[in-house]
A = this chain, B = another copy of it.
Amino acid sequence: MDMKEKKISGEILYKGKILTLERDKVLCPNNDEAYREIVRHNGGAAVLVVNDKNEILLIKQYRYAYDEVIYEIPAGKLELNEDPYYAAKRELEEETGYKANELISLGIIYPTCGYSSEKIHLYLAKGLSKGKMHLDDDEFIEPLFIDLNTVKKMILNNEIKDAKTICAISNYLLMEK
């Protein structure tokens, strides 16, 4: 069966700094019409760093949408049509002061398939060296290395809640097996 929905018409409700909100009228496979509210987003890139002591580089960052400081791997949003590989390298250095010589893909994830087009490109850092931290004016970030076994416990007891962080660690563990 063809499950695809066909766009009949669409309107842009809001064009913002980091997202665009659209509302499309679509034709469903059963020929019914429905509306879809869609957040258009350039996507992001995130980097898992595992050092030679088997520690994971996490950052603590305040997130306004949740009004919480949460643990995440370094990440950032893409400029329109930006290569995620280079965005990942840049964000890693800016947010943590570490440079990766090479990045290996850990896949692409779809964080919110119900209403957003955002895709996050996950990478594993290889060849780590010390660079220079450089945060945006409104970024306040604390980077720290945490032992992998402790990180697993933090996922299990829900201290780590960020989806891209859990996915990157999970995909890394599957890859290492």
Check: A1 CB closer than 8 A to any chain B CB. Answer: yes
| A47-55, A63-71, A84-92, A125-133 - the one binding chain B | A63-71
Assembled-state Cα–Cα distance A60/B113 (Å):
12
Task: Report yes or no: A113 in contact with B70, Cβ–Cβ below 8 A.
Answer: yes
Task: Report yes or no: B161 in contact with A107, Cβ–Cβ below 8 A.
Answer: yes
Copies of this chain, complex-wide, total: 2
Q: Which of B65, B119, B158 touches A38 (beta carbons < 8 Å)?
A: B65
Task: Report yes or no: B115 in contact with A65, Cβ–Cβ below 8 A.
Answer: yes
Task: Report yes or no: B18 in contact with A114, Cβ–Cβ below 8 A.
Answer: yes
Check: A80 CB closer than 8 A to any chain B CB. Answer: no
Majority SS of interface residues in chain A?
A: mixed
Kindly supply a per-residue 1/0 record for chain A positions 83-122, scoring 1 wherever the CB is within 8 Å of any chain B CB and 0 otherwise.
0000000000000000000000001111111111111100
Quote the shortest CB–CB distance from A73 to chain B (angstroms): 11
Assembled-state Cα–Cα distance A167/B167 (Å):
6
When distances are taken between beta carbons in the complex, the residues of chain B under 8 Å from A111 are 111-112, 163
Assembled-state Cα–Cα distance A142/B77 (Å):
33
Interface centre among A16, A118, A163, A173 (most CB of B within 10 A): A163
